[in-house]
Structure 1
Amino acid sequence: MELESIDTQKWIELGTDYGLKVIGAIVIWIIGSWIIKKIRNGIAKVMAKQNYDESLQKFLLNLIGWILKILLILTILANLGIETTSFAAILAAAGLAIGMALQGSLANFAGGVLLMIFKPIKIGDLIEAQGELGVVKEIEIFTTKILTPTNKEVIIPNAALSNGNITNYTTEGKLRVDLTIGVSYDADIKQTKEVLMKVLTDNPQVLKDPAPSVNVSELADSSVNFAVRPYATVADYWDVYFGTIEKCKLALDAAGIEIPYPHQVEIQKKG
């Protein structure tokens, strides 16, 4: 009878001890889950205010949620008296193995995250990067797609894009069109500048601010070269570029100003 009393007392003590730990674990889980939810909601609000990409928001929120839940589970296991060092070591080893296996993909993912957070480019921007010129069509987690002027889709890994130089032609909203027009040495410089400037000022697609300019840029071997510099919006760039070349040629012809071209001299030797 006395032995049974001792066994019963031990079971009660064990039950009380572990029962309290289980109840504590449940309480920790409930409170921890509530805190995780609040943290995710707070981060989601910050991302929404910063206009983060929707796909990036979902991915980061899920990633943060899983990390916090793993930490919560480890906390609960420690509260129950279970050794968590081995679990942490297994998680660290698994993370290292996955990181080594997906090194390139992770670099592209990190590059995509940086592009979406700092936003050096956005969809619709005309950019030049990695030797390619085109309009940004899509920014994904691992790659960015641009559409070239020849209507070719170019896919650039985000790691290379985020670590390289990016020229964004759209950011300022205005682009300078750089043209060089050559005329004969016999041409009157003042008249030529007036003719070329009139071409620019008469074009409604050429911006008034910044003002266009025409200046002598070079005394070349067979021509006096003028730097013709109109400004245009990104959308009108190519129209201004090609239209200005054509209109300058027509205007110079109408003014009787010669545009030099290569001459070939044939020398015949009489025997």
Structure 2
Amino acid sequence: MSTFLNIHSAEEYASAFLQKLVDYSPRVVSAFVVLIVGLYAIRLINRFVKRVMIQRALDPTLSKFLADILLWALRVLLFVTFISRLGIETSSFVAILGAAGLAVGLSLQGSLSNFAGGMLIILFKPFRVGDTIEAQNVTGTVSEIQIFVTKLITGHNQTIFIPNGILSNGVIINYSMESIRKAELTLAISYDTDIRQAKEIITGIMAANPKVLKDPEPVVVVRELTAQSIILAVRPWSTNDDFGTMPSEILEACKAAFDKAGLSIQPYNVEVSRS
């Protein structure tokens, strides 16, 4: 008798399960249809937005940033729609998601600061990709501006990542924002040297170098008189492209011209006071 009741109960459970499955299957099918169509629509929208940004000639970093935000916002919206189609109460889910987001936000305050710093850099553009900058005691060429960090490539081909939070709140020297740069070179000559002759030699060298600009005019001035020597400041201008090699060419030509003229370059000693 008990065996008969067990079989009967199992048949009832199976029948109820199948009935529930049949009743719930339209929701599952419709939810997955919405998911598949939504993913395809998001892909089309993302491509369309990127194409519009390219046509409007927006900054590449800003375009990528906005496209990523739009992509994830649409994905979250699609996920909420998907679970709603499955019959899951979205209000409680959103409340749980909000509480989790608050907890994550409190634990990732540094990351949120970097995120805000990235937005400030992208919006106000103190530098762009390809610019040479100096920040946080590091000098390099901006390779990529990401949401949380900025990637620099140094002159030694080292990759450095600087968090956007401290980068946006610190001092940034952009060497590429202006098209030309001035070099500050120093030469030390002895007190026996004719200053006018030395200045004429240096001025002639700068005038003969095609990488030195004529406007602004390069100058040579006496910067300092030390106990050992006279310090001359040599200030030539060049374009950013020529600035890497121009200073060394000027110094090398000055050494050769001074040797030919019988003038000596003194060692540049820094005096250290002792208490």
Q: TM-score, normalised by structure 2?
A: 0.69
Q: Secondary structure at the match of 1:99?
A: helix
The residue that corresponds to 2:148 in the other structure is: 142
Aligned equivalents of 2:254, 2:50: Cα separation in 1: 55
- Distance of aligned partners of 1:110 and 1:157 in 2 relative to their CA distance in 1, 3 Å threshold: same
Give distance in 2, aligned partners of 1:218 and 1:125: 34
Equivalent positions of 1:156-195 (< 5 A) are 156-195=162-201
* Distance across 2 between alignment mates of 1:252 and 1:129: 37
Which SS does the other structure have where 1:238 is aligned? coil
1:154 aligned to 2:160?
Answer: yes
Instruction: Answer yes or no: is 1:127 the counterpart of 2:136.
Output: no
TM-score w.r.t. length of structure 1: 0.69
Give the distance between the partners of 1:41 and 1:171, measured in 2 at CA: 32
**1:253/1:59 CA distance change after superposition, 3 Å:** same
Note if contact 1:144-1:156 (Cα within 8 Å) is conserved in structure 2: yes
Measure the CA separation in 2 of the matches of 1:206 and 1:138. 31
What is the CA deviation profile of residues 49-88 of structure 1, one whole-angstrom value per residue up to 9, with x for unaligned ones? 4425242121222355468789999xx9xxxxxx997666
Q: Distance in 1 between matches of 2:121 and 2:238?
A: 27
Farther off after superposition, 54-63 or 182-191:
54-63
Q: Which amino acid aligns with 1:51?
A: D
1:51 maps to what in 2? 59
Out of 96, 101, 118, which is 2:124 matched to?
Answer: 118
- CA 1:252/1:170 → structure 2, altered by over 3 Å: closer, same or farther? same
Q: Which runs of 5 or more structure 2 residues have no equivalent in the other structure?
A: 1-37, 270-275
Other structure's SS at 2:157 match? coil
| CA distance in 2 between partners of 1:149 and 1:52 (Å) | 24
Is the contact made by 1:184 and 1:260 (CA closer than 8 Å) also made in structure 2? Answer: yes
Find the partner of 1:238 among 215, 236, 244: 244
Shift of 1:127: 0.6
* Alignment match, 1:251: 257
Deviation (angstroms), 1:120? 1.3
Q: Distance in 2 between matches of 1:262 and 1:169?
A: 27
Deviation at 1:42, TM superposition (A): 11
SS at match of 1:237: coil
Between Structure 1 and Structure 2, how many residues are aligned? 226
Contact 2:203 2:219 in 1 (8 A): yes
Which residue, out of 66, 69, 74, partners 1:60? Answer: 69
Compared with structure 1, are the counterparts of its residues 245 and 145 closer, same or farther at alpha carbon in structure 2 (3 Å cutoff)?
A: same
Tell me the secondary structure at the aligned position of residue 144 of structure 1: strand
Deviation sequence 1:8-29 (CA, Å, 0-9, x none): xxxxxxxxxxxxxxxxxxxxxx
Change (3 A) 1:142 1:181: same
Identity %: 44
Match of 1:7 in 2: none
> Aligned runs of 1:77-116 on 2, under 5 Å?
89-116=95-122
Alignment RMSD (CA, Å): 3.5
SS in 2 for 1:154: strand
Give yes or no for contact 2:133–2:142 (8 Å, CA) kept in 1: yes
Residue-by-residue CA offset, 1:89-131 (whole Å, 9 max, x unaligned):
4443232112123322222222222222222111211110111
Deviation at 1:138, TM superposition (A): 1.7
- Check whether the contact 1:44–1:61 (CA below 8 A) recurs between aligned residues: no
Pair 72,209 (structure 1): closer, same or farther in 2 beyond 3 Å: farther
Conservation of the 8 A alpha-carbon contact between 1:109 and 1:141: yes
Question: Of the candidates 215, 225, 237, which is equivalent to residue 221 of structure 2?
Answer: 215
Which segments of 5 or more consecutive residues in structure 1 lack a partner in the other structure?
1-32, 77-82, 264-271
